[in-house]
């Protein structure tokens, strides 16, 4: 279904909080989830049909696992899913009922990074974790409010990160061999009037694509400057990733949660998964190389 301006609908899911799209190169399917429905979807983007994985807790991030299935950041830690009943790999000691994981992805070495937030968005309640190949989870950053988009530079030596209420994309120096980060500095400041920065991905030219919650758009930032804006028919895009056979399709998830009845009527596609063809390619999707 074409909705104009290079945007079409992959799944008119009506999801409450569709999030975390990742391309599964093994199957040629898009993996995404509805956080609050506790459901992970494996979608054939040609037909829009999906297989569904039910999980026992709210899900915040999912990545393919080299040894089979997926690793999911569920509310209390990291779980293996997609190989029969889900089972826990590593529970984090800081897990509490008022917290959940919110976003995450793998770096090129196969380490899984995912962050937490409070359900009520309490300031500084969240943290960013790194799950290494030995299934050990390390708390890397504290004092986060809504841990969100992650990406790594083309050369692998910079990590980009969003804590949504800061209205920034921050950059860190990154050591590929160890996964150590340092030298945090602001890269992009985003005005609240144009939306809140949410999920993020990077293209092969180094352009950062950011979903703007409340902004009805995805933005591309190149060398720290706004380069492109693609408008969407929904106000709450949540995240984005490149996929497709040539990694030249940009998939965008969205949410219907929190919209008024009037807003839902005006946005019948809220909660859908969209596809853009922006004319650039993404990076090869990373996989968790571990237990």
pLDDT in tens, 202-255: 999 999 999 999 999 999 999 999 999 999 999 999 999 999 999 999 999 999
106 part of a folded domain:
yes
Annotated catalytic residue 227: no
Count of domains observed in the chain: 1
Q: What is the CATH number of the domain that holds 159?
A: 2.120.10.30
Say which of 198, 203, 227, 248 is annotated catalytic.
198
Instruction: Examine residue 2 and state whether it is found in any structural domain, yes or no.
Output: no
pLDDT of residue 290: 80
The pLDDT score that the predictor gives to residue 16 is 97
Q: Among candidates 271, 275, 248, which has minimal Cα distance to 35? A: 271
Backbone torsion region of residue 14, taken as left when φ is above 0, otherwise alpha when ψ lies between -120 and 50, otherwise beta = left
104 belongs to a structural domain: yes
Task: Indicate whether 282 belongs to any domain.
Answer: no
In a domain, 36, yes or no: yes
Statement: residue 291 has pLDDT above 80? no
CB 287 within 8 A of CB 64: yes
Q: What is the pTM of this model?
A: 0.96
Q: What own/partner pairs with CB < 8 Å and gap ≥ 24 does 224-230 have?
A: 224/187, 224/188, 228/278, 230/5, 230/6, 230/7, 230/276, 230/278
The answer to whether residue 91 sits within a structural domain is yes
Domain of 87, in residue numbers: 7-276
Q: What is the pLDDT of residue 92?
A: 95
Token pair of 110 as six digits: 């196969």
pLDDT at 6: 81
Q: Is 94 contained in some domain?
A: yes
Instruction: Please report the DSSP string for 216-265 in residue order.
Output: TEEEEEETTEEEEEEE-SSS-EEEEEEESTTS-EEEEEEB-TT--HHHHH
The answer to whether position 287 is within a domain reads no
State pLDDT tens for residues 171-192.
Answer: 999 999 999 999 999 999 999 9
Residues ≥6 apart with Cβ < 8 Å to 47: none
* Per-residue pLDDT, 4: 44
pLDDT(1) > 80: no
């Amino acid at each position: 279904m074409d909705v104009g301006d290079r945007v079409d609908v992959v799944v008119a899911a009506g999801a409450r909080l569709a999030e975390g799209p990742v391309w599964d190169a093994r199957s040629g399917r898009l993996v995404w989830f509805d956080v609050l429905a506790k459901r992970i979807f494996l979608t054939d983007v040609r037909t829009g049909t999906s297989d569904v994985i039910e999980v026992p807790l709210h899900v915040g991030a999912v990545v393919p696992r080299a040894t089979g299935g997926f690793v999911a950041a569920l509310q209390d830690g990291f779980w293996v899913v997609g190989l029969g009943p889900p089972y826990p790999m590593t529970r984090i000691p800081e897990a509490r009922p008022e917290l959940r994981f919110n976003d995450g992805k793998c770096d090129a070495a196969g380490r899984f990074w995912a962050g937490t937030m409070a359900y009520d968005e309490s300031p500084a309640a969240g943290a960013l974790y790194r799950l290494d190949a030995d299934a050990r989870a390390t708390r890397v950053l504290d004092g986060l409010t809504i841990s969100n988009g992650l990406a790594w530079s083309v050369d692998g030596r910079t990590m980009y990160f969003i804590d949504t209420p800061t209205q920034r994309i921050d950059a860190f120096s990154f050591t590929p061999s160890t996964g150590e980060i340092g030298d945090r500095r602001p890269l992009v400041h985003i005005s609240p009037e144009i939306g809140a920065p949410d999920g993020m991905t990077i293209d092969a030219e180094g352009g950062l694509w950011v979903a703007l919650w409340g902004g009805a758009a995805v933005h591309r930032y190149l060398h720290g400057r706004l380069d492109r804006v693609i408008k969407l028919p929904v106000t709450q895009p949540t995240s984005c990733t490149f996929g497709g056979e040539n990694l030249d399709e940009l998939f965008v998830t969205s949410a219907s949660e929190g919209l008024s009845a009037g807003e839902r009527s005006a946005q019948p596609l809220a909660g859908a998964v969209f596809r853009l063809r922006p004319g650039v390619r993404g990076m090869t999707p990373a996989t968790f190389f571990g237990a």
